[in-house]
């Protein structure tokens, strides 16, 4: 019986050979595609603008029709916070973080925010897909290229430009003008309108900029104060003091264990960003690496990394490295790895949050350890401007063809309103009494610039008066943490150093008051040359600067590097950026 | 035999042993470090005190991980995926390798078909067409999206070549003896060829199992919910994080988790344990020469 069945199968084989081949071909094709999936890391990145016309078919004209398309009554709907009746459907996509917490029984799609969208705005909100935050861009690029877009989603500057060029997203100009509340407009244009300008192409607004605080990205100087006391040094008044202290920390055995195992200045292999970037160090010399600043002599924008002011700073870094004040292995350590030395170095230029990570872990083991934040001074002790990042790192956009593009503006209104506006209920929508950060679940988030500095001011005031009654739950929990530390619990030390009376936030407050921030003057969409050259130029920069700091190249090699930078595309980028600047 | 070795030969052999031992130690040390981290307290790990032995020995990371719903969910997805995916791939590999192992006389399209398969190893449609295929066949966000598309992976073609070469090496007489007794191709394949090919089956099974266990990128692009991620995708997302370039104070909570090295180490270790255990069990099939002496005369 068995053999009979086999025979008939064989007979059929030649007959259906053609079909079989076809099937095999399809299978093979799928296979070969998956092959690239494995190595598809880079492919996904540049496909954004190649798929014009693949956007879901819909009447293009409907993009700017504000309301009334489906017979809804215009009146309540047309309000900035008006409710849709009947409710509309809105799908989105987002990156999630495993640290997001929700109230009991809630999840990403069912929480205070989605209920507010439903009840207050009549928006039936759901996610087409979610992905781990670090992979959001990759996944979105695939969705963009295959034309499979959610109704509303978040993009970065490059994706925004590509989507605008490909005509895949809706023009939000009229929605913005008509629906944004004054308060929303105030938050978004707080920085002089640059944020909104970066979302505007040919005079049309295509996105809501998700503003963050620029000042929070500036560097402060962190110094280990218990070592200062131990070595009988005074607090730094100028960069010259900082250099002296760094060398003293490395050579005079501040931890008293009789070994040469301490360092002055913490540096990691990325040089920029992370808890100990070198931006602040260079800022002290009037150099502003990796951002565009206006050159007063020519009136043109210039890239900070290749300016002559860098040279003196590099020479001093080289000198620090030579004297052993910098970890000799910094060139291979990422910020996390360098952070493991938190009990071995005594100085760094870093972010306001550094006490949380990596300092707190070291503090837990060594209760004697203490740090203090200082503003950045130049060599003569004058305050110097610290560089800040552009406050918009992502944009909320609406796909072309979605019937209610203004819904995105309404969602931003709602966020501003519930979080900071006249109707704010931060304990319900921001951080709950149980210290659950429910605001993560919101979409179209817009944050005001000086949020944290105001928080620091009110927490300090409450600490002075011993009266936390006026604080919101989020601030109250920080307040409690500081009180806990003051009563002897070292595990909450970091909060005192960030939000206490003398803290990183108080230094940032000083920056705001004395106008000590240097913003990136270029905030347009990435130019074509930036798209094609920037990453290789950045790599070259990193290699060259690291070599100079480690003494493998002399400081004069900086000039060669600048020449190479210019020849390898830097000059073209500068031209493009200045064309953009002239058009502003 | 040992006494026959010349001095230089002895030096060479012992040099080899020393070199290979060092190499093995080099490969093991990172694993030992991760294991030590997973048993250490997080303060010790955060300040870099842990080398190859746990500091402040604790099981808290393991307790934390085993209580973590995401980890267990993704573990479940991976187990399902490995069981279904590996058996599916094995079945198809055998079914393709068998006809392709025949001579051109017996199967006229053998050569073009073989080239067709090799072609797919070298060229592909790319990521976007693949994504659209998976989407249009409704496999997005389902377990099948992790199973069916993997069939065409380059490694599978490689496995086919491996298997068909083994099939070819089997004595032709065995097959002929079956045909004389009235067996068709189906019977020959499953009753004669496959039982004789345990070594290559074990090898290929190991390859496909490891492939399914490790692959993370398809989980990332085909799954629309993080709770549908297989283990490797999940691990990838917790280990590869942003360089914290744009951290605002509202992200303080995530910052605190970043320094959680011990929990990560525990997850890496639990995640790789099952696949490590597969090796010794498959090893006993790596026996050579079982067909020796099966053909007489």
The residue out of B18, B33, B58 marking a domain boundary is B58
Domains and CATH numbers, chain A: 60-211+394-441 (3.40.190.10), 219-387+530-583 (3.40.190.10), 451-513 (no CATH)
Instruction: Dump the DSSP string for A164-201.
Output: HHHT-B---HHHHHHH--HHHHHHHTTTTTHHHHTTEE
Longest dimension (CA), chain B: 83
pTM reported for the whole predicted model? 0.78
The B residues from 130 to 149 touching A (CB cutoff 8 Å) are 130-133, 135, 141, 148-149
Smallest CA–CA distance, residue B261 to chain A, in Å, is 10
> Taking a C-beta distance cutoff of 8 angstroms, is the pair A371, A266 a contact?
no
> Taking a C-beta distance cutoff of 8 angstroms, is the pair B91, B205 a contact?
no
Which of chain A's residues have a Cβ under 8 Å away from the Cβ of B141?
129
Q: Answer yes or no: do B70 and A452 touch at CB < 8 A.
A: no
What's the mean pLDDT when you consider all of chain A? 84
Smallest CA–CA distance, residue B166 to chain A, in Å, is 22
Does residue B14 carry a pLDDT above 80? yes
Which of chain A's residues have a Cβ under 8 Å away from the Cβ of B224?
128-131
- pLDDT, residue A144, reads 92
Among A366-380, B240-254, B280-294, the least confident range = B240-254
The tens digit of pLDDT for each residue in A281-305 reads 999 999 999 999 999 888 999 999 9
- pLDDT, residue B254, reads 53
Cα–Cα nearest to A501, from A468, A467, A455: A455
Instruction: Confirm whether B267 is domain-assigned.
Output: yes
Instruction: Confirm whether B291 is domain-assigned.
Output: no
Instruction: Dump the DSSP string for B126-149.
Output: -HHHHHHHHHHTT-TTSTHHHHSG
Residue from the list A30, A364, A505 with its beta carbon closest to the beta carbon of B152? A30
As a dihedral over the C-alpha atoms of residue A45, residue A47, residue A48, residue A51, rounded to 10 degrees, the angle is -170
Question: How far is residue A416's CA from residue A189's CA, in Å, rounded to a whole number?
Answer: 13
The tens digit of pLDDT for each residue in A530-582 reads 989 999 999 999 999 999 999 999 999 999 999 999 999 999 999 999 999 99
Same structural domain for residues B29 and B96? no
- Mean pLDDT for B29-57 is 83
Cα–Cα nearest to B211, from B151, B145, B255, B267: B151
Same structural domain for residues B95 and B182? yes
Among A90-104, A244-258, A296-310, A536-550, the least confident range = A90-104
Instruction: Confirm whether B279 is domain-assigned.
Output: yes
Pairing of strands A123-132, A88-96: parallel
The tens digit of pLDDT for each residue in B134-156 reads 999 999 889 999 998 887 766 78
- Of residues A437 and A87, the one with the higher pLDDT is A87
Domain residues for B11? 2-58
- pLDDT, residue B256, reads 56
Cα–Cα nearest to A139, from B227, B223, B14: B223
Contact status of B73 with chain A (Cβ, < 8 Å): no
> Taking a C-beta distance cutoff of 8 angstroms, is the pair B62, B270 a contact?
yes
Q: How confident is the model at residue B95 (pLDDT cuts 50, 70, 90)?
A: very high
Same structural domain for residues B198 and B88? yes
Q: Answer yes or no: do A339 and B252 touch at CB < 8 A.
A: no
Residue from A4, A15, A17, A32 whose CB has the most chain B CBs within 10 Å, to mutate: A32
Which of chain A's residues have a Cβ under 8 Å away from the Cβ of B113?
21, 24
- Of residues B5 and B254, the one with the higher pLDDT is B5
Please give the interface size between A and B, counted as residue pairs whose CB atoms are below 8 Å apart.
223
Does residue A324 carry a pLDDT above 80? yes
Q: Which range, A201-205, A357-361, B265-269, is most confident?
A: A201-205
Does residue A62 carry a pLDDT above 60? no
HSE-CB of A552 using CA atoms within 13 angstroms: 8
Instruction: Confirm whether B38 is domain-assigned.
Output: yes
Same structural domain for residues B38 and B129? no
Instruction: Confirm whether B108 is domain-assigned.
Output: yes
Helices B69-100 and B110-122, interaxial angle, to 10°? Answer: 150
> Taking a C-beta distance cutoff of 8 angstroms, is the pair A126, A91 a contact?
yes
Q: Which two tokens stand for residue A404?
A: 């209610």
Instruction: Confirm whether B125 is domain-assigned.
Output: yes
Smallest CA–CA distance, residue A479 to chain B, in Å, is 15
- pLDDT, residue B40, reads 84
- pLDDT, residue B58, reads 81
> Taking a C-beta distance cutoff of 8 angstroms, is the pair A215, A511 a contact?
yes
Q: Answer yes or no: do A3 and B182 touch at CB < 8 A.
A: yes
Same structural domain for residues B119 and B20? no
Which of chain B's residues have a Cβ under 8 Å away from the Cβ of A129?
141, 224-225
Q: Which range, A64-68, A390-394, B153-157, is most confident?
A: A390-394
> Taking a C-beta distance cutoff of 8 angstroms, is the pair A580, A161 a contact?
no
Residue from the list A32, A133, A360 with its beta carbon closest to the beta carbon of B125? A32
Q: How confident is the model at residue B24 (pLDDT cuts 50, 70, 90)?
A: very high
Residue B286 has φ and ψ, to the nearest 5°, of: -80, 65
CA distance to A181, A205, A484, B195, per residue, from A51 (Å): 35, 22, 56, 51
Question: How far is residue B135's CA from residue A99's CA, in Å, rounded to a whole number?
Answer: 30
The B residues from 12 to 51 touching A (CB cutoff 8 Å) are 42-44, 46-48
- How many domains does chain B divide into? 2
CATH classification at residue B99: 1.10.3720.10
Q: Answer yes or no: do A361 and B224 touch at CB < 8 A.
A: no
The residue out of B41, B58, B75 marking a domain boundary is B58
Same structural domain for residues B38 and B73? no
Query: What is the ipTM metric for this complex?
Result: 0.76
- pLDDT, residue B149, reads 86
The tens digit of pLDDT for each residue in A476-494 reads 888 998 999 999 999 889 9
- pLDDT, residue A85, reads 87
Same structural domain for residues B44 and B148? no
- pLDDT, residue A70, reads 43
- Mean pLDDT for A64-74 is 41
Which residue in chain A is spatially nearest to B182 when comparing CA positions?
A: A3
Which of chain B's residues have a Cβ under 8 Å away from the Cβ of A5?
184, 186
Q: Answer yes or no: do B125 and A29 touch at CB < 8 A.
A: yes
Residue from A30, A344, A520 whose CB has the most chain B CBs within 10 Å, to mutate: A30
Same structural domain for residues B51 and B75? no
Instruction: Dump the DSSP string for A103-149.
Output: -TT-BTTBSHHHHHHHHHH-EEEEEEEEEEGGGHHHHHHHHHHTT--
The B residues from 263 to 292 touching A (CB cutoff 8 Å) are none
Among A47-56, A311-320, A527-536, A548-557, the least confident range = A47-56
A284 pairs with which residues across the strands? none
- pLDDT, residue A401, reads 93
A211 pairs with which residues across the strands? A392
Q: Answer yes or no: do B254 and A99 touch at CB < 8 A.
A: yes
Which of chain B's residues have a Cβ under 8 Å away from the Cβ of A138?
220-221
Same structural domain for residues B121 and B150? yes
Tokens 């005369």 sit at which residue?
B297
Does residue B186 carry a pLDDT above 80? yes
Which of chain A's residues have a Cβ under 8 Å away from the Cβ of B252?
353, 356
The residue out of B58, B83, B106 marking a domain boundary is B58
- Mean pLDDT for A95-108 is 82
Same structural domain for residues B157 and B238? yes
Residue from the list B128, B183, B224 with its beta carbon closest to the beta carbon of A129? B224
């Amino acid at each position: 019986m068995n053999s009979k069945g086999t025979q008939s199968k064989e007979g059929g084989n030649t007959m259906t050979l053609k079909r079989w081949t076809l099937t095999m071909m399809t299978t093979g094709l799928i296979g070969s595609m998956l092959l690239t999936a494995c190595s598809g890391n880079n492919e996904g990145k540049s496909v954004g603008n190649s798929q014009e016309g693949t956007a879901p078919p819909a009447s293009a004209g409907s993009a700017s029709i504000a309301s009334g398309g489906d017979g809804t009554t215009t009146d309540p709907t047309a309000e900035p916070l008006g409710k849709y009746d009947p409710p509309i459907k809105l799908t989105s996509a987002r990156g999630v973080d495993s640290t997001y917490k929700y109230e009991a029984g809630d999840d990403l799609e069912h929480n205070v925010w989605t209920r507010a969208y439903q009840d207050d705005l009549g928006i039936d909100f759901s996610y087409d897909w979610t992905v781990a935050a670090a992979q959001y861009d990759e996944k979105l690029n695939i969705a963009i290229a295959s034309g499979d877009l959610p109704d509303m989603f978040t993009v970065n500057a490059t994706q925004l430009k590509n989507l605008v060029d490909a005509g895949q997203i809706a023009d939000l100009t009229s929605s913005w003008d008509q629906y944004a509340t004054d308060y929303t407009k105030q938050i978004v244009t707080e920085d002089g309108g640059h944020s909104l300008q970066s979302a505007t192409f040919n005079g049309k607004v295509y996105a809501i900029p998700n503003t963050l605080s620029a000042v929070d990205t500036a560097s402060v100087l962190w110094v280990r104060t218990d070592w200062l006391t131990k070595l009988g040094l005074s607090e730094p008044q100028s960069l010259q003091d900082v250099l002296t202290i760094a060398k003293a920390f490395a050579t005079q055995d501040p931890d008293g264990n009789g070994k040469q195992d301490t360092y002055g200045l913490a540096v990691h292999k990325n040089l920029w960003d992370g808890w100990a970037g070198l931006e602040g160090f260079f800022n002290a010399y009037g150099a502003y690496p990796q951002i565009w600043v206006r050159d007063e002599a020519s009136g043109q924008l210039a890239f900070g990394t290749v300016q002559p002011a860098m040279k003196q700073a590099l020479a001093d870094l080289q000198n620090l490295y030579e004297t052993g004040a910098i970890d000799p292995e910094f060139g291979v350590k990422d910020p996390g790895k360098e952070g493991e030395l938190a009990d071995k170095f005594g100085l760094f230029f870093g972010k306001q949050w550094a006490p949380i990570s990596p300092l707190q872990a070291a503090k837990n083991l060594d209760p004697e350890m203490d740090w203090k934040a200082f503003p950045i001074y130049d060599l003569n002790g004058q305050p110097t401007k610290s560089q800040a990042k552009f406050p918009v790192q992502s944009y909320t956009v609406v796909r072309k063809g979605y019937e209610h593009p203004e819904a995105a503006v309404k969602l931003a209104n709602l966020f501003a309103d519930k979080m900071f506006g006249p109707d704010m209920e931060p304990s319900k929508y921001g951080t709950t009494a149980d210290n659950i950060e429910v605001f993560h679940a919101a979409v179209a988030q817009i944050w005001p610039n000086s949020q944290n500095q105001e928080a620091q001011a009110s927490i300090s005031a409450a600490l002075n008066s011993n009266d936390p009654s006026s604080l919101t739950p989020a601030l109250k929990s920080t307040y409690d943490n500081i009180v806990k530390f003051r009563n002897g619990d070292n595990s909450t030390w970091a909060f005192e150093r960030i939000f206490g009376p003398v803290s990183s936030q108080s230094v940032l407050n000083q920056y705001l008051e004395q106008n000590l921030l240097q913003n990136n003057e270029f905030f347009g969409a990435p130019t074509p040359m930036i798209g094609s050259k920037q990453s290789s130029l950045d790599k070259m920069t990193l290699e060259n600067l690291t070599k100079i700091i480690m003494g493998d190249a002399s400081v004069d090699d900086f000039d060669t590097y600048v020449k190479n930078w210019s020849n390898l595309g830097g000059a073209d980028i500068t031209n493009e950026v200045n064309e953009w600047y002239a058009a502003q | 035999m040992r006494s026959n070795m010349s001095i230089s030969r002895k030096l060479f052999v012992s040099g080899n042993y020393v070199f290979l031992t060092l190499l093995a130690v080099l490969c093991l040390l990172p694993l030992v470090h991760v294991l030590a981290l997973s048993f250490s307290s997080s303060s010790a790990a955060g300040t870099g005190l842990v080398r190859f032995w746990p500091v402040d020995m604790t099981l808290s990371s393991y307790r934390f991980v085993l209580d973590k719903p995401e980890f267990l969910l993704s573990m479940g997805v991976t187990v399902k995926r490995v069981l279904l995916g590996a058996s599916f791939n094995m079945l198809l590999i055998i079914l393709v390798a068998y006809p392709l192992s025949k001579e051109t006389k017996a199967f006229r399209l053998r050569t073009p078909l073989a080239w067709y398969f090799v072609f797919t190893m070298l060229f592909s449609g790319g990521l976007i067409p693949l994504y659209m295929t998976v989407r249009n066949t409704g496999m997005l966000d389902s377990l099948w999206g992790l199973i069916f598309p993997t069939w065409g992976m380059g490694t599978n073609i490689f496995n086919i070549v491996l298997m068909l070469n083994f099939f070819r090496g089997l004595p032709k007489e065995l097959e002929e003896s079956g045909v004389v007794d009235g067996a068709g191709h189906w019977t020959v394949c499953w009753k004669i060829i496959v039982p004789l090919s345990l070594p290559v089956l074990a090898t290929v099974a190991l390859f496909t199992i490891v492939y399914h266990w490790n692959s993370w990128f398809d989980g990332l692009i085909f799954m629309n919910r993080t709770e549908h991620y297989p283990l490797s995708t999940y691990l990838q997302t917790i280990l590869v994080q942003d360089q914290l370039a744009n951290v605002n104070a509202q992200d303080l909570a995530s910052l605190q988790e970043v320094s959680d090295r011990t929990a990560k180490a525990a997850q890496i270790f639990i995640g790789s344990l099952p696949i490590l255990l597969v090796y010794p069990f498959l090893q006993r099939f790596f026996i050579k020469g079982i067909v020796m002496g099966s053909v007489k005369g």
